[in-house]
Amino acid sequence: MSREILTVAEMTQADRQAVEQGLSIDLLMDRAGFAVAEAVMKRFPPGRAVIWCGPGNNGGDGYVVARCLHDKGWSVRVEAAAAPATEAAKRAAALWKGETVPLSPSPFPADLYVDALFGAGLSRGLEGDVAKLACACAQLNEPVVAIDLPSGFNGDTGRRLGEAVFCADLTVTFHRLKVGHCLYEGRAACGEVVVADIGLPASEGTASLFENTPDLWERHFPWPALNVHKYQRGRLKVVSGDAGKTGAARLAARAGLRIGAGVVTLLSPSGALAENAAHLEAVMLAPFESDADLRAAGEAADAVVIGPSAGVGETTVRNLFALAGTGSALVVDADALTSFRQDPEALFSALDRDDVLTPHPGEFERIFPGLLARSAERISATREAARLAGAVVLLKGPDTVIAAPDGRAVVSLNGSPWLATAGSGDILAGFIGGLIAQGMTSFEAACAGVWIHAECGRAHGPGLIAEDLPNLAPAVLAGLLARRPSVKRSGLASGR
């Protein structure tokens, strides 16, 4: 099941539908509180808990948690930032039979704290004692559990609404992930995120944003047929720069081969042939000297990667134009993006919807100046970029976003800091190019490439360098293959 990510308005709509279908808010609040208490008890031994309750339904959930934990033998102290203001929260508070004291701006000694102050719909910054408590909360050694979202963040952007914000070790939200759980800084403040089912009706089809998981694209993963030959497994070409600037292109080429492209060729300026030849084995090498050479190479390819160590300047602009007119899909990365900083429109007019742009935020700013700053968050920025470019756009980061010109978008949640290393992006471009060469659509190839790249990073962990990534791909691919229900019948299972 692919995981939908909802906006706050979409969640409110789901909520409204549930009430229209006869589910009471009190029942939902009870289930929400039980789910939080259950997640707490699964992870932490009974002890002293302090529950910080706000005036709304987030606070209401907090009173339910207090009741549940107390019933299970916890010593519970409830601190209220304000009296309950909603009818449901008032009823939940009335069912809490213990004492409720005013919120203290410094944490009362305890083994665990629950942030039930404000939820994902918060619209203004924290103030007064709540803000002071948020600052003190950051220094706590004991675990903090946030209900719905750590208080102080905007649920639609993951941005802080004011200076002070809470941070948590565990966040329990309801029904679906919200954008604020997926984008930084909110994502970093959530800790582990649990999405609890509280019985809201499924709203499949309404969300337009998804977590990047294999469910989204594995049905179209280009596993080879048993009788395939190498040319049918996809022809990928990668454009190298001049002598002295070739390594990144070779990394991309190697990644393309590892991800399954049958034949990968490095297109090298004549002056860099010897340098490239000295470092290549299974990747093939072909010289080019003119636009005509590149056009011919592009016609004989399924996908071409241009950018890693291509060189910034007129030559790369010309090379891209030569390739853009051919039948192969382009993955445009690094230097090829920067080469168009003076005239991004010229790049966009050369692209079509099968092409993929893979900028990091700096490159994104060069070709879409000001777009990130004027967007609410990076998802809407990437969607708009894809529309402007008329191509798939992948905005790299710890929360990589991929968007298609038709508005489809995904966020990747499996990234890790180990991937922030030189050459890692070149490998990603090679993975994506290799998957497109094998016949995956460009949007799905970008999603799959990002997910596999991130899994490789996680599998290695500390000490990762870009050269390691292609060698980690086979285990990740084997894991994907094993998920295939028909793996035995396909004959691809090991030993056949």
User: What residue ranges bind K ion (CB under 5 A)?
Assistant: 115, 146-147, 151
Closest CA to 182 of 437, 382, 322: 382
Indicate the residue among 63 and 288 with the shorter CB distance to ligand NPW.
Answer: 63
Cβ closest to K ion, residue 92 vs residue 146: 146
Tell whether residue 120 is among the known ligand binding residues: yes
Q: Which one of 71, 87, 127, 215 is in contact with ligand NPW (CB under 6 A)?
A: 127
The distance of closest approach from Cβ of residue 117 to ligand NPW in the complex, given in angstroms and rounded to an integer, is 7
CA–CA distance from 42 to each of 35, 36, 46, 396 (Å)? 11, 10, 10, 35
Question: Which CB, 81 or 402, lies closer to ligand NPW?
Answer: 81
The answer to whether residues 216 and 195 touch, using CB atoms and an 8 Å cutoff, is no
Choose the contact partner of 115 out of ligand NPW, K ion, none; CB within 5 to 8 A by kind.
K ion
**396 appears as a binding residue in the annotation:** yes
Task: Name the segment binding ligand NPW (CB under 6 A); options: 121-129, 267-275, 416-424, 479-487.
Answer: 121-129
Residue nearest to ligand NPW (CB): 119
Taking CB under 6 A as the criterion, the residue among 58, 246, 276, 442 binding ligand NPW is: 58
Q: Which of 8, 28, 35, 452 binds ligand NPW (CB under 6 A)?
A: 28
Of 182-241, which residues contact ligand NPW (CB under 6 A)?
200
Annotated binding residue 240? no
Order across the sheet with 356-357: list the strands: 209-211, 409-411, 401-403, 392-395, 356-357, 329-332, 303-306, 235-239, 263-269, 284-288
**Cβ at position 59, least distance to ligand NPW in Å:** 6
Residue 482 interface partner, choices K ion, ligand NPW, none, CB cut-off 5-8 Å depending on type: none
Alpha-carbon span 279 to 97, nearest angstrom: 73
- Extract the tokens encoding 23: 């589910």
Q: Is 400 annotated as a binding residue?
A: yes
Q: What's the token pair of residue 62?
A: 């907090």
Q: Which helix (H) or strand (E) holds 53?
A: strand 48-53
Residues 6+ apart with CB under 8 A from 233: 224, 260, 261, 262, 263, 438
Kindly tell me which of 56 and 430 has the beta carbon lying closer to ligand NPW: 56
Q: Does 55 bind ligand NPW (CB under 6 A)?
A: yes
Number of residues that bind ligand NPW (CB under 6 A): 28
Nearest Cα neighbor of 212 from 485, 403, 372, 382 is: 403
Residue 46 annotated as part of some ligand binding site? no
Taking the complex as a whole, the smallest distance from the CB of residue 79 to K ion amounts, in Å, to 14
Q: What is residue 355's DSSP assignment?
A: -
The residue (of 150 and 423) whose beta carbon lies closer to K ion is 150
Give the C-alpha distances (Å, rounded to integers) separating 200 from 28, 341, 357: 8, 47, 38
From the list 57, 212, 358, 380, which residue makes contact with ligand NPW (rule: CB under 6 A)? 57
Where is 67: in which H helix or E strand? helix 57-71
Q: Which residue intervals of 259-411 are DSSP H helices?
A: 273-277, 291-299, 314-324, 334-338, 344-350, 361-367, 371-374, 378-389
Tokens at 323, concatenated: 């390739």
Residue with smaller CB distance to K ion, 134 or 257: 134
In contact, 426 and 334? CB cutoff 8 Å? yes
* 444 lies in the binding site for ligand NPW (CB under 6 A): no
Q: Does 65 bind ligand NPW (CB under 6 A)?
A: no
For residue 56, the minimal CB distance to K ion (Å) is 10
In 414-492, which ranges are continuous DSSP H helix? 424-437, 442-460, 468-482, 487-490
* Site membership for ligand NPW, residue 86 (CB under 6 A): yes
Closest CA to 58 of 153, 140, 128, 139: 153
Element (H, E) at 401: strand 401-403
Q: Nearest 5 degrees, angle CA 146-CA 150-CA 155?
A: 125
Q: CA 42: distance to chain centroid?
A: 27
Is 455 in contact with 416 (CB distance < 8 Å)? no
Q: Least separation, in Å, of the C-beta of 344 and ligand NPW?
A: 40
Q: Is 124 annotated as a binding residue?
A: yes
Q: Report if residue 169 touches ligand NPW, rule: CB under 6 A.
A: no
Residue 148 touches ligand NPW, criterion: CB under 6 A: yes
Q: Going by C-beta distance under 8 Å and a sequence separation of 6 or more, which residues neighbour residue 327?
A: 298, 299
Tokens of 453: 């790249």
58 is in an annotated binding site: yes
Under the binding rule (CB under 6 A), the answer on residue 118 touching ligand NPW is: yes
Q: Is 225 annotated as a binding residue?
A: no
The residue (of 57 and 338) whose beta carbon lies closer to ligand NPW is: 57
Q: Does 414 interact with ligand NPW (rule: CB under 6 A)?
A: no
Nearer to K ion, 149 or 334 (CB): 149
Nearest CB to ligand NPW, comparing residues 185 and 242 = 185
Determine if 13 is a binding residue for ligand NPW (CB under 6 A).
no
Feature table: binding site = 57-61, 115, 119-125, 148, 151, 248, 360, 396-400, 425-426
Feature table: binding site for (6S)-NADPHX = 57-61, 119-125, 148, 248, 360, 426
Residues interacting with ligand NPW, by CB under 6 A?
11, 15, 28-29, 32, 54-61, 85-86, 118-122, 124-127, 147-148, 174, 200
